Amino acid sequence: MSSDETPNVPTPSNSREAVREKAQQVHAQQSRARLMRRIIIGAVAVIAVGAIGTAVTLAVSAQVSKPQLTPTGMESDGVVVNDISAVAASDETLTTPSPEPTEAGATDAPTTEPSAPERVEIHVYVDYLSPDAGEFERANSRQLANWITEGAVTVSYHPVALLTASSNGTKYSLRAAAAAACVATHSPEQFYAFNHDLLDNQPKVGSDGFSDAQLADAAQAVGVDNPKAVRSCIVDGDFVTWAKEATTRALDGPLAGSDDLVLSSAPMIVANGEAYVGALDDPAEFSNFMLTIDNDASQQSTETPTPTPSPTATPTP
């Protein structure tokens, strides 16, 4: 029996259209996927750049808004030491000779009241990583302490950072100078002891130096009055910027008490404007230098007595 129905078989043209349409759909899906990937990548990049920019802005703003702290109790970026209560006075005491008695009826010769000699001003520029600075301190600290106790000199210690690049990137010279400023600010009575300790017990050049925590421990070991404030000051680096700027000022000159001297090395010792160029480890040579400076100062301060006019008789009318 015959039938008019034909099987539902796609013609070649219909098959090609279906394949073409399917290919177009796949291509469209792939295009949309690529577009979405670009959009997502772009959005992530924008977010990342924005986050980095925000972080940089916050960091810069924090740095700018943070006040530049300056240590207190400084004179020309130095800590003046004119009294050392912890150092025992020398066994030898200076005695003032008593005047000889005059004979009865004798007239005392006119005398001039001698002016008290002025103290010699010594400025010591120290880098706490410098072996030479440590050598000078160990050789001369005892006689410097005696001269201070006797009232013959005032000593100003100026922390500087010339060897900042010589401690494996830890910037020990800079941090140690800032730590000394912390002690000078928060516990000035212990500055001399802390300064001596840093110079007497130095790390080696080329080493990491002491950490901030170790510097704070050293300050506490010398008996600072306010250990919490000193530790916070050292660990937070409150005076690091000051130490850097103080070093620059010393390099530019003139140094304190001088007309034209500039910092050229550490240590650098200046007494009444004159730089000491002798041996750093020879206390006798340094003592002779100081004696010369003291004699020069005494000659300049000696006053010539002014003659007193003799009374004249008043003529009678």
Of 33, 34, 15, 148, whose CA–CA distance to 87 is shortest?
148
Query: Average of pLDDT values for 32-41?
Result: 81
pLDDT classification of 203: cutoffs 50, 70, 90 = very high
Task: Name residue 83's amino acid.
Answer: D
Which pLDDT does position 32 carry in this prediction?
A: 79
Distances (CA, A) of 13 to 6, 8, 10, 20: 18, 14, 8, 11
Structure tokens at 2: 């015959």
Chain segment 116-145, per-residue pLDDT in tens: 568 999 999 999 999 999 999 999 999 999
Of 186, 197, 68, whose CA–CA distance to 138 is shortest?
197
Mean pLDDT across the chain, nearest whole number? Answer: 81
CB atoms inside a 10 Å sphere around CB 116: 8
In the predicted structure, residue 248 carries a pLDDT above the cut 80? yes
Which pLDDT does position 108 carry in this prediction?
A: 44
Instruction: Select the more confidently predicted residue: 273 or 87.
Output: 273
Domain boundaries, the chain: 79-88+118-301
CATH of region 79-88+118-301: 3.40.30.10
Instruction: Select the more confidently predicted residue: 73 or 116.
Output: 73
Chain segment 157-171, per-residue pLDDT in tens: 999 999 999 999 999
Q: Is the pTM of the predicted complex or chain greater than 0.75?
A: no
Segment among 99-103, 187-191, 293-297 with least mean pLDDT? 99-103
Question: For the stretch 142-169, what's the b/e string if a residue is b when 16 or more beta carbons lie within 10 angstroms of its beta carbon?
Answer: ebbbbbbbeeebbbbbbbbbbbbebbee
pLDDT classification of 51: cutoffs 50, 70, 90 = low
In the predicted structure, residue 66 carries a pLDDT above the cut 60? no
Query: Average of pLDDT values for 271-276?
Result: 97
Percent of the chain with pLDDT over 90: 59
8 Å CB contact between 200 and 138 = yes
Distances (CA, A) of 309 to 204, 280, 306: 68, 53, 9
| E strands in 228-282 | 268-271, 274-275
Query: Average of pLDDT values for 235-260?
Result: 97
Which residue's structure tokens are 């098959």?
Answer: 15
Distance CA 239, CA 246 (A): 10
Which pLDDT does position 4 carry in this prediction?
A: 54
In the predicted structure, residue 53 carries a pLDDT above the cut 90? no
